[in-house]
Amino acid sequence: KLSARLIQIAERLPKGCKLADIGSDHALLPVYAVKNGLALSAVAGEVNEGPLKAAQQQVAQAGLTSSIAVRKGDGLAVVGPGEVDTITIAGMGGALIASILEAGQEKLAGVHTLVLQPNVGEDLVRRWLLRHEWALTEESILEEDGKIYEILTARRLPDSTGFNAQLYAPRALPGSEMKLTEELLLLLGPWLIKEPDAVWFEKWHGEIKQLERIRSSVSSSSHEASRVKEQELAELARQLTEVM
């Protein structure tokens, strides 16, 4: 059975899309998407031999070799220009997701939807989208098997730049004096923070605790650089505590 995380990612796909799933591992997502009519066709990309084999087996077992192409390659190298209109990249760090998008920019020309699920470093993905004029149109957060995941959906809108300018415009946090700057919105999620749910609060309670642990280890060092770092961390924890 498909994980709740992958099901939620699949639910973000525009019906009838031409999908590329990068870092597909067992190709569970493209198989589900094609089986359920969410995607018409799919490319499952994998850079590593083991997961590539697993993807080939999975697609063959599902009888979908005519609609899902399993290809070996780094990031977006596995798709031809204009071949797909929707890309999913899930289950890796935000820095890697951003670097895959950055390296594959010419492959994004005909793509209208990105569904991205970084395991960490969500802010790096949001920042990449913002800088490259993708409109962040939806965010969701879920917990599964004790882990918390965020799913970011981005589209090309006629005025993505204007859309994002509004989305990331510094705003006041309702019921507080605190100002949410672009920096904080990139970190916390401009949509998630509009209606923060229990999972979001759990995530940031955890992050604050971790920041405090880091802070106490940094403050035992006397270097000037780490004192600066300590102050930054203290400020971040203070701001997050205010948001909550």
Per-residue CA distances from 163 to 111, 126, 143, 152 (Å): 18, 14, 29, 16
Half-sphere exposure of 240 (CA within 13 A, CB side): 23
Choosing from 11, 74, 138, 242, the residue that interacts with ligand SAM (CB under 6 A) is 74
Residue 75 Ramachandran class (φ > 0 left, ψ -120 to 50 alpha, else beta): left
- Give the span between the Cα atoms of 242 and 170, in whole angstroms: 16
Choosing from 8, 10, 18, 25, the residue that interacts with ligand SAM (CB under 6 A) is 25
Residue type, 45: G
Choosing from 10, 13, 19, 22, the residue that interacts with ligand SAM (CB under 6 A) is 22
Position 47 contacts ligand SAM (CB under 6 A): yes
Nearest distance from residue 208's CB to ligand SAM, in Å? Answer: 26
Give whichever of 21 and 230 is closer to ligand SAM, judged by the CB atom.
Answer: 21
Choosing from 19, 23, 79, 139, the residue that interacts with ligand SAM (CB under 6 A) is 23
Among candidate residues 90, 86, 95, 82, the one with its CA nearest the CA of residue 128: 95
Residue type, 165: A
- Give the span between the Cα atoms of 38 and 90, in whole angstroms: 17
Choosing from 34, 44, 64, 91, the residue that interacts with ligand SAM (CB under 6 A) is 91
Position 51 contacts ligand SAM (CB under 6 A): yes
Positions 95 through 114 that interact with ligand SAM (CB under 6 A): 96, 100
DSSP string, 103-132: HTGGGGTT--EEEEEESS-HHHHHHHHHHT
Nearest distance from residue 204's CB to ligand SAM, in Å? Answer: 23
Nearest distance from residue 126's CB to ligand SAM, in Å? Answer: 19
What is the 8-class DSSP label of residue 14? Answer: P
Structure tokens at 109: 């020309």
Q: What is the CA radius of gyration of the chain?
A: 20
Nearest distance from residue 10's CB to ligand SAM, in Å? Answer: 11
Position 48 contacts ligand SAM (CB under 6 A): yes
Position 144 contacts ligand SAM (CB under 6 A): no
Strand order across the beta sheet in which 113-118 lies: 68-72, 39-46, 17-22, 86-92, 113-118, 147-155, 135-144
Choosing from 45, 94, 118, 190, the residue that interacts with ligand SAM (CB under 6 A) is 45
Position 243 contacts ligand SAM (CB under 6 A): no
Position 46 contacts ligand SAM (CB under 6 A): yes
Choosing from 13, 17, 24, 218, the residue that interacts with ligand SAM (CB under 6 A) is 24
Residue type, 239: Q
Nearest distance from residue 133's CB to ligand SAM, in Å? Answer: 23
User: Which chain residues interact with ligand SAM by CB under 6 A?
Assistant: 6, 22-25, 45-48, 51, 74-75, 90-92, 96, 100
